[in-house]
Amino acid sequence: MLKKIPPYTRNFYFLSSAVFLIWMLFIDSNDFISQYKLSSKLSGMEEQKSYYLEKIEEVEKDREELMSDDKLLEKFAREKYFMKKETEDVFIIVEE
């Protein structure tokens, strides 16, 4: 039975390398599959990071515009938070 196996596979270094390779690819906690999953998760999170950085820039730009113009600030307060003057009535229309 041992004669059917090629001689280089019976070498100690080949066997130990093969066992080490199998261990690192499939059994270890840092195996190939886990590394792939973590890499894909990292790329997804980097995309989210760029999205949120863009949103932060938009919000900061809007904030600067609101703080510099009193009429725009009043318009924003009326539309967003339904604020009104004492002599006004506010009607909210909800579409079904």
The domain limits of the chain are: 7-81
- To the nearest whole percent, how much of the chain has pLDDT over 90? 34
What backbone torsions phi and psi does residue 46 show, to the nearest 5 degrees? -65, -35
Indicate left, alpha or beta for 82 from its phi (over 0: left) and psi (-120 to 50: alpha): left
Tokens of 53: 């950085």
pLDDT at res. 16: 93
What is the predicted pLDDT for the residue at 2?
63
pLDDT at position 39, please? 95
Ranges under pLDDT 50 in the chain: none
Residue for token digits 């041992």? 2
What single DSSP character describes residue 83?
Answer: -
Q: What is the pLDDT of residue 37?
A: 93
Contact 41, 47 (CB under 8 A): no
The overall pTM is greater than 0.75: no
Q: Is the CB of residue 53 less than 8 Å from the CB of residue 47?
A: no
